[in-house]
Amino acid sequence: MSSVPSLKAETPIDVDVDDAELIDRSRNQPEVFSGIYERHARRLRGYVARRLGPDAADDIVSETFLIAFRRRGDYDLTREDAGPWLFGIAVRLVGDHWRSEIRMHRAFARSGFEPLVTDALDERVADAVTAKAQGPRLATALATLSERDREPLLLRTWGGMSCKEIADVLDIPVGTVRSRVHRARGTLRAALGSSFAV
């Protein structure tokens, strides 16, 4: 039998209790961790779905909460909001997903065998980056950004996170977040035209 609690809360979670308190309580009452899921899953899924598409988003979000549940004993209880911690886990999983797909496509290119999925790499990148919600020009432009510039931009625009939250997620200074977001926006505007707003 699994030690992970059901993600459906059996009792309502007190809205006056911060995330740190819930995580602390969950160390002795694992079912309380469902409150963390209730508070953050929707926003997290929205971000991951825009990055990888809805099918992969469900898997990544599930894995994010499983990892968070297992690591809740290490959570810094001075942080009242668990959002940046959860996004940090998800960002690493999204990166792993991308690297895995790229390795698979490179292996198929070297071997001469095509993957079972017949989409071209460019189409898969465009679909994954935009979750089919943005045009191919934006997907191509996003794919040209370095990961260190792309991640803060997407956390800001698609994750709806503040620069402070992004700094916590990526463990970099707030000023660095601002400069990377600014640089990424400038690169996208140059690629897509000055009327494009990010």
Task: Tell me if 12 is assigned to some domain.
Answer: no
Burial classification of residue 31, based on how many CB atoms lie within 10 Å of its CB (0-12 exposed, 13-18 middle, 19 or more buried): middle
**Pure H helices in 11-146:** 19-26, 34-52, 54-70, 83-111, 121-130, 136-144
Query: Which pLDDT tens digit goes with each residue over 160-191?
Result: 889 999 999 899 999 999 999 999 888 888 88
The domain that holds 49 is classified in CATH as 1.10.10.10
Dist. CA 49–CA 116, nearest whole Å: 22
What is the extent of the structural domain holding 136? Answer: 32-70+81-192
Q: Is the dihedral of CA 5, 8, 9, 13 positive or negative?
A: positive
Alpha-carbon distances, residue 36 vs 17, 75, 77, 91, 169 (angstroms) = 11, 13, 14, 18, 17
Task: Tell me if 15 is assigned to some domain.
Answer: no
Task: Tell me if 25 is assigned to some domain.
Answer: no
Task: Tell me if 92 is assigned to some domain.
Answer: yes
Query: Which pLDDT tens digit goes with each residue over 64-114?
Result: 999 999 999 999 999 999 999 999 999 999 988 777 666 554 555 555 554
Task: Tell me if 114 is assigned to some domain.
Answer: yes
Query: Which pLDDT tens digit goes with each residue over 12-37?
Result: 556 689 999 999 999 999 999 999 99
Q: pTM to 2 decimals?
A: 0.64
Instruction: For the chain, give the number of residues.
Output: 198
State how many domains the chain has: 1
- Residue 145's closest CA among 102, 191, 106? 191
Task: Tell me if 151 is assigned to some domain.
Answer: yes
- Residue 116's closest CA among 128, 104, 132, 129? 104
Q: How confident is the model at residue 119 (pLDDT cuts 50, 70, 90)?
A: very low
Task: Tell me if 63 is assigned to some domain.
Answer: yes
Q: Determine if residue 160 is left, alpha or beta; phi over 0 gives left, psi from -120 to 50 gives alpha, anything else beta.
A: left
Let me know: does 92 contact 170? Beta carbons within 8 Å. no
Burial classification of residue 94, based on how many CB atoms lie within 10 Å of its CB (0-12 exposed, 13-18 middle, 19 or more buried): buried
Task: Tell me if 46 is assigned to some domain.
Answer: yes
Instruction: For the chain, state the CA radius of gyration.
Output: 19
